[in-house]
């Protein structure tokens, strides 16, 4: 993760928590170069790879329906 202040490429994670909505992770980070702190929000994007090699976004309703 790049520091948004000095663009240093190595930052340290101080704290990780699951966000209130439960679909993302909030991380508190610190830059060893400029010593500033910042927060990042990370979200997963689930994709399905079909037998043909095509990809599409994961659809829970489609799995439940068996389609």
pLDDT digits (tens, 9 = 90+) for 4-29: 999 999 999 999 999 887 889 999 99
0.85 exceeded by the pTM?
Answer: no
Q: Classify residue 11 as exposed, middle or buried by CB count within 10 Å of its CB (0-12, 13-18, 19+).
A: buried
Per-residue pLDDT at 67 exceeds 70: no
């Amino acid at each position: 993760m790049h520091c948004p202040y000095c663009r240093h490429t190595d930052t340290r994670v101080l704290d990780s928590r699951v966000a209130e909505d439960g679909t993302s992770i909030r991380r508190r980070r610190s830059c060893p170069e400029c010593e500033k702190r910042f927060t990042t929000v990370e979200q997963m994007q689930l994709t399905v790879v079909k037998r043909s090699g095509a990809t599409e976004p994961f659809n829970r309703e489609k799995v439940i329906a068996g389609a």
